[in-house]
Amino acid sequence: MFIGCVTSRYSFLSKGRQLMPYIILLSLIKIKIKMTINSNAGYQAIQILIILCFTFISSQASAQDSEAISINKQLDVIRNYPFDMPFERSDITLLNWQYWPYSRYASHHPREFIPMATIHADPEAAALEEIKNDPFDLMELKVSVDMEKDVLLPDLLKSIQMKGFAVMHEGKLVFETYDQGMQKHDIQILQSSSKTFTGMLIHKLASEGLLDLGANVDEYLPDLNADVFKGSTLQNMLDMEVGFPDFGSYHNTYDFGFMSEVHMGLKPKVLGVEHRSTLSFIQQFQKASFAAGNKFSYNDMNTQVLAMVAERVTGKQYAQLIEENFWCPLQARYDGAVSIDEDGNAGASWGMAITLRDAARFGQMMLNRGSFKGKRIIPESYFESTFDQPPTEPLSPYFVLGQQEDYRNQVWMLRDDGLMHTIGSFGQFIFADYKNEIAIVFMANWKDTSHLESKEHLLRIVRAVGKQINR
């Protein structure tokens, strides 16, 4: 009843799934009693018992509604706190850790708030090559933010709550800056920038013959039991073309977005959730909202399942796969981390956390079309099928400074500017600028998951830095 009819009110569906066994049991009791008891008094007693049970069930549902309303009110207050409001470390909770002012600390100390698996680095690996003392005078660079206003780069970065910023040119770090207490050894949560690692990993496994991008996920996860994926290929999942319903808001308890974060570990256990399980959350979606490949519909669950596929075909945990396929060949100097739910499933869609400098290594590898220091990490075919191909339907609905953002294989592109880039909530971006031959990393702390004006400033900064370095 509830599983096959998905609505936007996850709390209602969740309550239905929790209470359904009681409803069925009571119905069976009622039928049995009618068959075996002839006494009117006995039958009336059973009727009263059933009414009492349903009254209890209704009270439990009402309690969850009250809890949902209370949480929404708390979030409305939290999301309006000012950026610079003082707070104590003890004030940070799973409900507020992604928002101002608490994210000033929490986003680069994620291990303190969520369970994470370690992505081991080699502390003896060669240091990132760098040219110190600002060789391109970026501290004095003025960025045009409108027709009549230029802003110094450091001031513009501060105005959009940037806590880490790095520029790579010719394989060397030529500029970096930190703010909000972040230091070079701190790992920042990447949010959806994590997805690009998954996309590249899937392509690499396909190039090794371990999977077929044209195959359906059921061929690799026959026990997935989520019919929303019926008829969709791994490529549909990579391109966000699977028929999930609209997840609504991540800040409203009545929406799928919020409940997905409960199961993945970004929010506290509420509304009857006793066990965090990304898989069980996915399994409620038994009917596609549209035919696979017919619409662009950005959804974390595609990436989550792709990570499960990678684990299944390799027999390795996701953190180990990232370590072997990225961290070791990139010669990362600091341990990274990836979130895990209570079943051990990795938060591949949001939960990677790495240092600014190791993100710069990844950006340089993107700029080199899959190579780092002469070593092939990601197959050239990934970039041929992603950046080299013209945009095709269905297209994303997003624009920046009048330019449409293209999406393919879990990465974004602004083709007019020659950019391939990752995007993560609250301002986590890694750019490969093929026209200017630079890579730029932004690790920010925006007020909202996405902020168009700040995003436009990032593009202005990328353009200005590219022009400055190549003048």
Tell me the three state secondary structure of residue 162: strand
Residues with Cβ within 8 Å of 314's Cβ and at least 6 positions away in sequence, in order, are 205, 210, 321
Query: Per DSSP, which regions of 131-187 are E strands?
Result: 142-146, 149-152, 162-169, 172-178
Report, as an integer, the average pLDDT of 386-409: 95
Residues with Cβ within 8 Å of 180's Cβ and at least 6 positions away in sequence, in order, are 104, 105, 108, 161, 163, 445
> What is the pLDDT, as a whole number, of residue 13?
43
d(CA 431, CA 221): 33
Report, as an integer, the average pLDDT of 87-113: 97
Cβ–Cβ < 8 Å for 197, 322: yes
| Residue 173: closest CA among 440, 465, 426, 446 | 440
Model confidence at 59: pLDDT above 80? no
Encode pLDDT of 249-296 as tens digits: 999 999 999 999 999 999 999 999 999 999 999 999 999 999 999 999
Encode pLDDT of 312-365 as tens digits: 999 999 999 999 999 999 999 999 999 999 999 999 999 999 999 999 999 999
| Residue 308: closest CA among 270, 336, 278, 288 | 278
| Residue 116: closest CA among 307, 313, 261, 318 | 318
| Residue 336: closest CA among 194, 155, 178 | 194
Residues with Cβ within 8 Å of 234's Cβ and at least 6 positions away in sequence, in order, are 202, 206, 211, 212, 213, 214, 215, 216, 217, 306, 309
d(CA 50, CA 31): 12
CA distances from 16 to 41, 273, 278 (A): 32, 13, 18
Work out the burial of residue 140: count CB atoms within 10 Å of its CB; fewer than 13 is exposed, 13-18 middle, 19 or more buried: exposed
d(CA 351, CA 116): 8
> What is the pLDDT, as a whole number, of residue 147?
79
> What is the pLDDT, as a whole number, of residue 61?
57
Residues with Cβ within 8 Å of 189's Cβ and at least 6 positions away in sequence, in order, are 107, 108, 110, 350, 351, 352, 353, 424, 428
Query: DSSP secondary-structure letter at 394?
Result: S
Encode pLDDT of 153-168 as tens digits: 999 999 999 999 999 9
Model confidence at 396: pLDDT above 50? yes
Ranges of each domain in the chain: 121-240+291-469
Share of the chain above pLDDT 70, in %: 87
| Residue 226: closest CA among 209, 210, 204, 243 | 243
Instruction: Provide φ and ψ at 422, rounded to 5°.
Output: -90, 155
Helix and strand tally (H, E) in the chain? 13, 17
Tell me the three state secondary structure of residue 100: coil
Cβ–Cβ < 8 Å for 416, 404: no
Model confidence at 43: pLDDT above 90? no
Q: How does residue 193 score in pLDDT terms, banded at 50, 70 and 90?
A: very high
CB neighbourhood size of 408 (10 A): 20
d(CA 269, CA 272): 8
Q: What is the CATH number of domain 121-240+291-469?
A: 3.40.710.10
Model confidence at 4: pLDDT above 80? no
Report, as an integer, the average pLDDT of 215-241: 96
CB neighbourhood size of 159 (10 A): 13
CA distances from 182 to 98, 350, 391 (A): 16, 20, 38
Cβ–Cβ < 8 Å for 302, 384: no
Is there a cis peptide before residue 101, judged by omega within 30 degrees of 0? yes
Q: Lay out the sheet containing 352-354: strands in order across.
A: 116-119, 336-339, 352-354, 188-189
- Please provide the size of the chain in residues: 471
Instruction: Provide φ and ψ at 16, rounded to 5°.
Output: -60, -45
* Mean confidence (pLDDT) of the chain: 91
